Structure 1
Amino acid sequence: MGYESYQQLGVDVADGVATLTLRSGQKFNAVTWQMHHELGLIFDDLTRDPDVRVIVLTGAGDAFCAGADLNWLRNQLQDPPTPREAREAGRAIVLGILDCPKPVIARVNGDAIGLGASLALLSDIVIAVDTCKFADPHVRIGLVAGDGGALIWPLLIGYARAKEYLLTGNAVPAADAVRMGLVNHAVPAGELDATVQRYARQLADGATMAIQFTKTSTNIPLRQAVESVLEASLAYESMTLRSQDAQEGVASFLERRKPNFVGR
């Protein structure tokens, strides 16, 4: 299969392993409209590719993904997507990862923030550089953690811990993320590639049908959660995109000042 149509995702397939690289061109691989659109398509294409048995998801350079590009988000505030558009776009990405039968390994080579954190945490195995952090700070700019955060964090670390981080937007250092079960491994930068390749090679050389059906079976509760939690959280996020607090949150971030939220 050819992946030339993808502008902000790089795909390199070698010996059964597809390396999927986030490369928006924005600082810290922040998500643009184009990347968001492409993320909703790429996992279906990788599923259909007979040469791919394992997917490694990573970021270009020294960054993984900083979440939504704030300028794109500001444009959304001026012209918010309809609830249907927001629902379909959000579901396409989350279900793309969950419904892809091929194992997805997140190679987290830098901070994973917002949607970046969701992309990593929805993956099947998460291997992070030990200097990175994970956070979903939607609330800090007046938005609901609707694009996967409210779905996956509680299922990984329990509701008490998840609510602490989702309601504050505080970051979790990689070592703490391992201890609480948010991610699988945190390793020094010099060991990241070897660790990722060890798992990728084991999965690519394993019993493909057994591995894929095991992933599909294990993800059944996640798929069920999508139909309840994700549907609601995307709808609520769509509502907050129309709020004064979201306008203030994005403006204050771009202007590097403390926000003045009014609850509307």
Structure 2
Amino acid sequence: MARLDGYTRFTFTRGQFGHARTLTATITGPNPVNGVDEAMHHELARVFTDLQLDADSDIIILTGAGRDFCAGGDFDCFAEQIAHPERFRDIGWDAKRIVTTLLEIEKPVICRMNGAAAGLGATIALLCDIIIADETAPIGDPHVKVGLVAGDGGAVIWPQLIGYARAKELLMTGDLIKATRAADMGLINYAVPGDQLDAKVTEMVGKLMGNPRFAVRWSKVVANQPLRVLAQQLMDASIPYETLSNLTKDRAEAVAAFRERRKPDLTGE
């Protein structure tokens, strides 16, 4: 467990969901919705490598503390990045590693989507291998609503799961949808009543653990190979575009309006 010591934005629990060799990684943010600040962003860039190298687990369950899974970027952090653009630029390396390491981890990763998953939170959820959500939980990528390009992996995974037409609509509008609709369109695997969420995760753990370990792991590796290639191609473009969008006037206005609970006065600049 020493490899997992020192995290401030994750807690780790072993042996849940009916099997001793599960490891639950719980996103524990600096605010009630588990919004991503710079500390969490940095930890997300290394946690999946540490989880892969953990010798005492075979299945990872990724979930969120409290009522939400991960509701995207922290607005205090957004304000700092607008005031100091170099801080946004400097997280580019980590942004790529979040996506690539989540696609590279060989262990099955089950997303226990206990609540809202938005922005980077939605990307993380959708890059997991099996997504099981509370049926009332919303999911979406509202980067555009805060003046940003959906550059942290949304453009990689959404079109692969639901096709380009629906993916582009949702990425360009920033609309959130309920988990039930997400399951119907194939964006996630299951949407279940909240009181059945743990039972469904336990059922899935049992199915995976009932098969030979390396057959499961390496089947995932092969299935993820095209996504890994795609991520390498797209992220080198999407991260610079997102960094540029952080410099726009509409970006600053969108964040200010959200924090002040008013309608943004967008100019197109």
**Equivalent residue number for residue 252 of structure 1:** 257
**Equivalent residue number for residue 80 of structure 2:** 75
Relative to the length of structure 1, the TM-score reads: 0.97
Identity %: 44
**Equivalent residue number for residue 240 of structure 2:** 235
**Equivalent residue number for residue 159 of structure 2:** 154
Aligned-partner Cα distance in 2 for 1:228–1:242: 24
- 1:31-63 per-residue CA deviation (whole Å, 9 max, x = no partner) reads 111111111111111111111111000000121
- Count of aligned pairs: 264
Aligned-partner Cα distance in 2 for 1:21–1:176: 25
Relative to the length of structure 2, the TM-score reads: 0.95
Q: 2:33 aligns with which of 28, 33, 40?
A: 28
Q: 1:87 aligns with which of 92, 107, 126?
A: 92
Q: 2:66 aligns with which of 61, 70, 75?
A: 61
Q: 1:111 aligns with which of 99, 106, 116?
A: 116
1:97 Cα deviation from its structure 2 partner: 0.8
8 Å CA contact retained: 1:56, 1:200 = no
Aligned-partner Cα distance in 2 for 1:162–1:175: 17
Q: Partner amino acid for 1:88?
A: W
- 1:162-207 per-residue CA deviation (whole Å, 9 max, x = no partner) reads 0110000011111110111000000001100010111123223421
Aligned-partner Cα distance in 1 for 2:223–2:33: 32
**Equivalent residue number for residue 225 of structure 1:** 230
**Equivalent residue number for residue 10 of structure 2:** 9
Where in structure 2 are the equivalents of 1:99-178 lying within 5 Å? Answer: 99-178=104-183
Aligned-partner Cα distance in 2 for 1:91–1:101: 18
Aligned-partner Cα distance in 1 for 2:261–2:142: 15
Aligned-partner Cα distance in 1 for 2:57–2:210: 11
1:73 Cα deviation from its structure 2 partner: 1.1
The residue matched to 1:248 in structure 2 has which SS? helix
8 Å CA contact retained: 1:157, 1:182 = yes
8 Å CA contact retained: 1:83, 1:235 = no
**Equivalent residue number for residue 43 of structure 1:** 48
1:129 Cα deviation from its structure 2 partner: 0.3
Aligned-partner Cα distance in 2 for 1:246–1:213: 42
Aligned-partner Cα distance in 2 for 1:83–1:131: 33
8 Å CA contact retained: 1:31, 1:69 = yes
8 Å CA contact retained: 2:30, 2:37 = no
**Equivalent residue number for residue 194 of structure 2:** 189
- Flag the 1:43–1:180 CA change in 2: closer, same or farther, 3 A: same
Higher mean alpha-carbon deviation, 30-39 vs 181-190, is at 30-39
Q: Partner amino acid for 1:152?
A: I
The residue matched to 2:57 in structure 1 has which SS? coil
The residue matched to 2:263 in structure 1 has which SS? coil
- Flag the 1:78–1:193 CA change in 2: closer, same or farther, 3 A: same
8 Å CA contact retained: 2:36, 2:73 = yes
Aligned-partner Cα distance in 2 for 1:84–1:32: 14
Higher mean alpha-carbon deviation, 115-124 vs 21-30, is at 21-30
8 Å CA contact retained: 2:89, 2:243 = no
1:84 Cα deviation from its structure 2 partner: 6.2
Q: Which runs of 5+ in 1 are unaligned?
A: none
